[in-house]
Amino acid sequence: MSIRQQSERRVTNETDQAWQGQADPAQDAAVPGQLQAEFLAKWQQIAAAGQQGTLPPLTDRRFSDPAWQESPQHLLMAHFYLLSANIMQKMVDQATVPDQVRERLRFAVEQWNDAMSPANYFLTNPDALKTFTDTNGESLQKGLLNLLGDLRRGQISQTDASTFEVGRNLATTPGSVVFENPWFQLLQYAPQTPTVFRRPLLMVPPCINKYYILDLQAGNSLVEYAVSQGFTVFMVSWRNPTATDTDGIQKSSWDDYIEKGVLTAIDTVSQITGQPQINALGFCVGGTMLASALAVARARGDNPVASLTLLTTLLDFADTGILDVFVDEAHVAYREQTLGQGGMMTAKELATTFSFLRPNELVWNYVVSNYLKGKAPPAFDLLYWNSDGTNLPGPFFTWYFRNMYLENRLCRAGALKICTESVDLADLDMPAYVYGSKEDHIVPWNASFASARLLSGDVRYILGASGHIAGVINPPAKNKRNYWSGDTMQVQQADAGQWLEHAQSVPGSWWPDWANWLAGHSGRRLKARATQGNAAYPPLAPAPGHYVKVKA
């Protein structure tokens, strides 16, 4: 049973209980009548406009093609659909149920509404019908071939996968693998400047995805940019466990990834560079893992990191946005029963779940374009990465699911033991640069702001435009978007809304701001070394190594 199916089943059960125990009969009896009257009144207006040929065009991009305006019956159908969807959402908004149940109802209704759009079906999509006519039926033939190809692959094609290859035109920043164990490979990138800062930078990406989101194509790579600014950059490339592995990787725990992953990487970078302290960056779940590892190090009396960068990271899981619809004791217990002792949370299930968080953008538009209109998806490096998923060891996933998402224990001092140590994020008093994305649906920006307040050092908080990935991967040369910055002290003294009210909007990428901040914590510059690694850790292979190339 998929996560989405389980969520919908819970919605049904919890809604029944909520209506039985908490509903106001008089109010609930009035709501359907009011909404029915509103629906009929608006439907009559739409029908009258349809008869007179005065239906306005729709701003919803699913119905933006001129074919909808040119076909009165299809345009009328689209208006009726949007009206119905709006009324269904109002029914959820006005239902007398607990907020958590309301959010799950809203999610289920949105899934239904998005799936039932007339744009998703051949006979009710005039754009698809026109394309069929214009191509003498060739579009539908190509669409069928696209569908069969995706069925063989087991996923909807979001990009032309044949265009990309990791190591050829993705993850191409020059460097070497300088360390490897069963959990990760450590990459060290070759310098691109005559001198480099003394203190190196270690990047810890999420193990739920492949690291090269930070090193896409040339000109679209945070790694490439950091190296060009004179930083000596190391990268953790997590292993992608598969069903054929026989060394027990599927039984790896959160502690394994912290001790044998993050802490080992920090120590190795320190040994290679001879620096007692390094700078460290964590992205998304990688940031949660990095903060956990540093809290463990502090509990042991160690202080291996001079500055901390967190990108779209949750440390306080009180607000997990739309992902909250998947989180309850029953679901966590089910996952623990099936995966807690071994096995894997598969990349396919993870990808399906995240796609249905934004189904119109990541599912249905490709159904229309690929299958109904027979188009080949364009080449897009970010979407290729998005489809190149990773599996997660079951014990790692279930521990993370319970202790972070369900019980939110990391943010409470001493509430969590990691690697046998009681951890306290307040021990992290190094300077920190914390980035959130304003339209992030996976790590809501106010939650990343709340997470920043758990750190006790000076925190520079930056809020970027756009979403979870597009906000982060925003090279300066493209001169796109903007970001907001505020006074460092305001992070501890104000809530998210107050901070934003006083923050200043800055055009363009946040990368130069971060590079300038990081330079202030990186020491003086030295002559760049021509080779990577050292005598104890010689280069093993060219970057990007082989872990990142393993398919799920």
> For 72-106, what is each residue's pLDDT tens digit?
999 999 999 999 999 999 999 988 888 888 989 99
Question: Would you state the pLDDT for residue 542?
Answer: 98
Kindly state the tokens that stand for 249. Answer: 């990787």
Looking up tokens 């592995």, which residue turns up?
245
- Go through 177-188 and write b for each residue having 16 or more CB atoms within 10 A of its CB, e for each that does not: bbbbeebbbbbb
pLDDT tens sequence across 140-187: 999 999 999 999 988 899 999 999 999 999 999 999 999 999 999 999
Question: Would you state the pLDDT for residue 10?
Answer: 47
Do 388 and 551 touch, CB atoms closer than 8 A?
yes
- Strand 432-437 to 305-311 pairing: parallel
Q: Can you tell me the mean pLDDT for 276-302?
A: 98
**CB-facing half-sphere around the CA of 410: CA atoms within 13 A:** 33
Comparing 17-26, 73-82, 269-278, 289-298, the range with the smallest average pLDDT is: 17-26
pLDDT of residue 15 exceeding 50, the answer is no
When pLDDT is cut at 50, 70 and 90, the band that residue 309 belongs to is very high
What is the distance between the alpha carbons of residues 529 and 448, in angstroms, rounded to a whole number? Answer: 37
Question: Would you state the pLDDT for residue 491?
Answer: 84
When pLDDT is cut at 50, 70 and 90, the band that residue 2 belongs to is very low
Determine the Cα angle at 426 with ends 493 and 207, to 5°: 110
pLDDT of residue 527 exceeding 80, the answer is yes
When pLDDT is cut at 50, 70 and 90, the band that residue 28 belongs to is low
Question: Would you state the pLDDT for residue 511?
Answer: 98
How many other CB atoms are there within 10 angstroms of residue 434's CB atom? 24
Instruction: Using CB atoms within 10 Å of the CB of residue 474, give its burial: 0 to 12 exposed, 13 to 18 middle, 19+ buried.
Output: buried
pLDDT of residue 1 exceeding 50, the answer is no
As a whole number, the mean pLDDT across the chain is: 92
3-state secondary structure of 345: strand
Within 8 A by CB and 6+ apart from 526, the residues are 195, 196, 197, 198
Kindly state the tokens that stand for 228. Answer: 């060009």
What is the distance between the alpha carbons of residues 544 and 533, in angstroms, rounded to a whole number? Answer: 15
pLDDT of residue 22 exceeding 90, the answer is no
Residue with the bigger pLDDT between 16 and 132: it is 132
What is the distance between the alpha carbons of residues 257 and 259, in angstroms, rounded to a whole number? Answer: 6
pLDDT tens sequence across 45-59: 999 998 998 999 999
What is the distance between the alpha carbons of residues 127 and 146, in angstroms, rounded to a whole number? Answer: 18
When pLDDT is cut at 50, 70 and 90, the band that residue 34 belongs to is confident
CA distances from 470 to 172, 319, 441, 482 (A): 20, 21, 12, 12
pLDDT of residue 25 exceeding 70, the answer is no
What is the distance between the alpha carbons of residues 417 and 300, in angstroms, rounded to a whole number? Answer: 12
Q: Can you tell me the mean pLDDT for 101-113?
A: 92
Q: Can you tell me the mean pLDDT for 282-286?
A: 98
Residue with the bigger pLDDT between 24 and 414: it is 414
The helix or strand, by DSSP H or E, that contains position 504, with its residue range, turns out to be strand 504-507
Amino acid at 473: I
When pLDDT is cut at 50, 70 and 90, the band that residue 494 belongs to is confident
Do 239 and 547 touch, CB atoms closer than 8 A?
yes
Supply the residues annotated as catalytic. Answer: 284
Q: Can you tell me the mean pLDDT for 118-129?
A: 97
Comparing 181-185, 215-219, 348-352, 405-409, the range with the smallest average pLDDT is: 348-352
Q: Can you tell me the mean pLDDT for 512-530?
A: 97
pLDDT of residue 310 exceeding 80, the answer is yes
pLDDT tens sequence across 447-475: 999 999 999 999 999 999 999 999 999 99
Nearest to 327 by CA among 407, 272, 219, 444: 407
Predicted model pTM: 0.91
Comparing 69-83, 114-128, 343-357, the range with the smallest average pLDDT is: 343-357
- Residue 13 DSSP one-character state: H
Percent of the chain with pLDDT strictly greater than 90: 84
Question: Would you state the pLDDT for residue 279?
Answer: 98
- Residue 401 DSSP one-character state: I
Question: Would you state the pLDDT for residue 489?
Answer: 65
Positive or negative, the Cα torsion across 110, 113, 116, 119? negative
Within 8 A by CB and 6+ apart from 543, the residues are 171, 173, 174, 175, 176, 177, 187, 189
What is the distance between the alpha carbons of residues 447 and 321, in angstroms, rounded to a whole number? Answer: 9
Do 342 and 394 touch, CB atoms closer than 8 A?
yes
Domain ranges of the chain: 3-134, 136-159+347-388, 175-344+391-549
Specify the CATH number of the domain 175-344+391-549: 3.40.50.1820
What is the distance between the alpha carbons of residues 159 and 166, in angstroms, rounded to a whole number? Answer: 15
pLDDT tens sequence across 212-266: 999 999 999 999 999 999 999 999 999 999 999 999 999 999 999 999 999 999 9
- Strand 482-485 to 459-464 pairing: antiparallel
